[in-house]
Amino acid sequence: MNFTEKLKRAVMSSKSTLCVGLDPSPELIPKPLYNQFNDDSRRILEFCRRVIESTKLHACAFKPNTAFFEALGSEGWSVLEEVSDMIPSNRILIADAKRGDIGNTAMKYRQAFFDRLGADAVTLNPLMGMDTLEPFLDDEQKAVFVLAMTSNSGAGDFLHRRFEGRMSLGEYIAEELSKMRENSLAQLGLVVGATHTDKIQNVIGAFPEAHLLIPGIGAQGGSVKNILNALHSHEGIPIINSSRSIIYSGGDHENWEELITQKVLEFKNSLQTLTDRYA
Amino acid sequence: MNFTEKLKRAVMSSKSTLCVGLDPSPELIPKPLYNQFNDDSRRILEFCRRVIESTKLHACAFKPNTAFFEALGSEGWSVLEEVSDMIPSNRILIADAKRGDIGNTAMKYRQAFFDRLGADAVTLNPLMGMDTLEPFLDDEQKAVFVLAMTSNSGAGDFLHRRFEGRMSLGEYIAEELSKMRENSLAQLGLVVGATHTDKIQNVIGAFPEAHLLIPGIGAQGGSVKNILNALHSHEGIPIINSSRSIIYSGGDHENWEELITQKVLEFKNSLQTLTDRYA
């Protein structure tokens, strides 16, 4: 089954275009869980396990962010492996790694995330050149999501700026990526931040068939309504990510897991108009 | 001791500006060593140990490339930790991670590489904005090396191109980085590839005080003579990296370790004119 087919099925079975971002910080883990364990690796493992259990019916994808695991060293990486194995096989696993390096190094990153971790998709940073993406493109079961317009204010430093006569560097990246379509077995996607919906129109317009990974709703302030408007004629499937706004929505309450389920349902429902196009 | 002082002492005690890049691929490890072990993690651990032993008198720095360790998953990351502990304390440890992400994620990467791995420096990718560098700048014992001009041909896609009226995006990055000097306790450095010496002049000219990490001599084809010319008036200290050309120079010979020592001496000698400015 190729990536697009798997994604469509995941959207249909969850009736959701929502992705749950797994950014586990020990210091933010609900106290009732935190206090059960003595070490941070165990804490983030159990936290991720319960977040996945509490949200898997209502999310099409999960996106562990590698930084939060690497911060705990090799034990953290081991947790990342266990967490990856917990993602239901009918859901999409996106390794949010934002790697980008030259050929022989990129090949090793491909091994790390596709071959060993078993991710369906990986986020990539194209700054070092579009050739750095190539080692990730030879498998139709996989996808890459390439940074084009991020959700932080610093995106104004480079990605929002005019480049080579295009409206923005982000648009230029989208256009260059679209040219790689016919030589790629993997699906090509873009990361476009929800906090800059005014700016994403020209980016996604440059590659209308691209699947989209859209971070920034919730904690980062992006509005669902603006996203819906921006996507009205887009052909690729949008995956709407929220991390902190979902996984920490239970605070330190004893029933934090129920609260997370409520929150993910709330997000899912707010995206229903969008989801109905695909599910 | 701040980073610059530690770097100067490392250059003086090794009489070398050379950095040995640790890119351990199991399939390229000398057969006499490879055949002694049954698993790849053990192989790359022992290989790195012997490479470090064979080169440490003649190199001021070591640069493990995270991809080559991540390709072996959590066991690989565990090897990365052991290898980091093997680097002599009077040598510079550069984590070649090329990370770049927004604030709370960048903070986790900082923890991973500075706090946990104990690296003196890390390579960073600025595409998502100069604000992504900030979590790495609060410690005078540390340095960051920011991608400005890489050594692959794909650098022509973005970094070589004109941007905001400057000669290249790489030059623009260098200029933006130089503006962060007064607010940074960490030392600020640039990664500039040795294969494009014609293009690095304007990049390093935009930030003459930056320390430089210069990959691309050896296997990637950069010439030492061209580097020497490009650096004649640069104020920051250049760290000249070679990875594959050194670590695999022993082939499958029984005396591969001696051959690596010969090769590193050869590189060191070729850089003597440059090193004499600092040692």
Q: What is the pLDDT of residues A24-76, one digit of tens each?
A: 999 999 999 999 999 999 999 999 999 999 999 999 999 999 999 999 999 99
Chain B residues lying within 8 Å of A78, measured CB to CB: 74
3-class DSSP assignment, residue B51: helix
Does B233 fall in a domain?
Answer: no
Question: Which chain A residue is nearest to residue B131, measuring alpha carbons?
Answer: A154
> Does a structural domain hold residue B173?
no
Structural domain for A154, as ranges: 3-274
Question: What is the model's pTM?
Answer: 0.97
Mean pLDDT of B114-132: 97
pLDDT tens column, B5-27: 999 999 999 999 999 999 999 99
Of A128, A132, A163, the CB nearest to B163: A163
Tokens at residue B11, please? 């250059």
Any idea what the CATH number is for the domain that residue A111 is in? 3.20.20.70
Alpha carbon B254 to its chain centroid, in Å, reads 29
What span, in angstroms and rounded, lies between the C-alpha atoms of B263 and B190?
Answer: 26
Per-residue pLDDT at A163: 84
**Does residue B165 carry a pLDDT above 80?**
no
In a domain, A188, yes or no: yes
Check if the beta carbon of residue A257 is closer than 8 Å to that of residue A268: no
Cβ atoms of residues B260 and B54 within 8 Å: yes
Q: Is A279 among the domain residues? A: no
Choice among A98, A108, A142, A225 that is catalytic: A98
Position A227 in a domain: yes
Candidate from A125, A130, A151 with C-beta closest to B154: A130
Question: B131–A74: do the CB atoms touch at under 8 Å?
Answer: no
**At residue A224, does pLDDT exceed 80?**
no
Tell me the pLDDT of chain B averaged across its residues.
94
Contacts 24+ apart (CB under 8 A), B24-32: B24/B48, B24/B51, B24/B68, B24/B69, B24/B247, B25/A104, B25/A108, B25/B68, B28/B244, B28/B248, B30/B248, B30/B250, B30/B251, B30/B252, B30/B253, B30/B256, B31/B252, B32/B252, B32/B253, B32/B254, B32/B256
Nearest-Cα distance to chain A for B131, in Å, is 6
Residue A74 belongs to a domain: yes
- The domain total for chain A is 1
Q: Which residues in chain B have Cβ-Cβ distances shorter than 8 Å to A101?
A: 65, 67, 98
- State what percent of residues in chain A have pLDDT above 90: 81
User: Is A74–B81 a contact, with Cβ atoms under 8 angstroms apart?
Assistant: yes
Q: Do A105 and B65 touch (CB under 8 A)?
A: yes
B3, B9, B11, B12: CA torsion to nearest 10: 160
How sure is the predictor about A234, in pLDDT bands with cuts at 50, 70 and 90?
very high
Would the CB atoms of A154 and B80 count as touching at under 8 Å? no
Residue of chain A minimizing CA distance to B82: A74
| ipTM entry | 0.96
Identify the closest residue of chain B to A116 by CA–CA distance. B73
Which of A74, A130, A176 lies closest to B77 in CB terms? A74
**The pLDDT of residue A194:** 80
Residue at B172 is within a domain: no
Of all helices (H) and strands (E), which one includes residue B213? strand B211-214
- Alpha-carbon distance of A80 to A69, in angstroms, equals 6
In a domain, B40, yes or no: yes
